Copies of this chain bind each other. A is one copy, B any other.
């Protein structure tokens, strides 16, 4: 099933309806970026604006395959941006709470100054692919829905020898040449393995409290180059900062999530 279909929203009813599809999960729980993409699609429809500019999700309960509802509410429809909130509801409980501002990225202009570069990566065919391991559950089923290739230096945790540095760089694209749209960027902000896997710390998983994504440009077709890094693991929490660059070498999205670091 394509990403577009797996995140489709039926806006002919109120509340809107959608379906968590099978296979976009990590050990049974729908991926956070996948849920964010569904929610943001619903919010963009409600706002009648094509692009999420900044969207924040707080993660409340794990999502399982099946029907969900979304009730976007317009907070303010401004000249450039429309601010919307929404709850993504599973059958029994809220899954994520969302707040975002939506607009048309092509209509916003200003000067350019960029003090950063896309991550330096070997070509995709020289980067190990994280492939779904149904027996262990890691890499998770989500890896069957994407084509995700890790920088060889950052992929060693796959073989049991973490790099020691909470950093993951790599390529990602949707499968079957499906174009990556702005909602695909939201998926990609949470699609890489957790940086903690390279950190050599007694933490088995890092449940996301909150994720904010800024979409800075509509991506050109092709692979995304991504960099996810963590500088502060402290106080029972860590941030994970993401940069997503498109095939034209432009930053297309930035993300930051706050996750808990329970002893594993």
Query: Which A residues are within 8 Å of any B CB, using their own CB?
Result: 53-54, 56, 58, 60-61, 75-76, 78, 80-81, 83, 85, 87, 94, 97-101, 105, 108-116, 166, 199, 201-203, 209-210, 212, 214, 216-217, 230-239, 250-251, 254, 256, 258, 260-263
Contact = CB atoms under 8 A, between A and B. Distances in A.
A201 B251 contact: no
Taking chain A's interface residues, is the majority helix, strand, or loop, or is none over half, making it mixed? strand
Given A56-B210, A83-B97, A210-B212, A109 B75 contact: no
A83 B60 contact: yes
A108 B235 contact: yes
A78 B61 CA distance: 10
A209 B54 contact: yes
A187 to B, nearest CB: 20
Contacts of A94: 75-76
Given A58-B75, A101-B209, A234-B251, 12 more contacts: A54-B258, A60-B83, A105-B235, A110-B233, A115-B231, A115-B232, A212-B212, A212-B256, A216-B232, A232-B251, A239-B254, A256-B256
Nearest to A262: B110
Given A234-B250, A258-B53, A258-B214, A97 B110 contact: no
Contact of A78 (B54, B60, B199, B235): B60
Contacts of A105: 235
Given A54-B210, A56-B56, A234-B217, A113 B78 contact: no
A115 B232 CA distance: 6
Q: Determine which residue in A54, A97, A217, A258 has the highest number of CB atoms from chain B within 10 A of its CB, and name it.
A: A54
Nearest to A230: B115
A72 B184 CA distance: 32
Contacts of A209: 53-54, 81, 101
Contacts of A85: 85, 97, 99
A116 B201 contact: no
A51 B111 CA distance: 38
Nearest to A165: B115
Given A108-B260, A166-B113, A210-B212, A217 B231 contact: no
B233 A114 contact: yes
B110 A210 contact: no
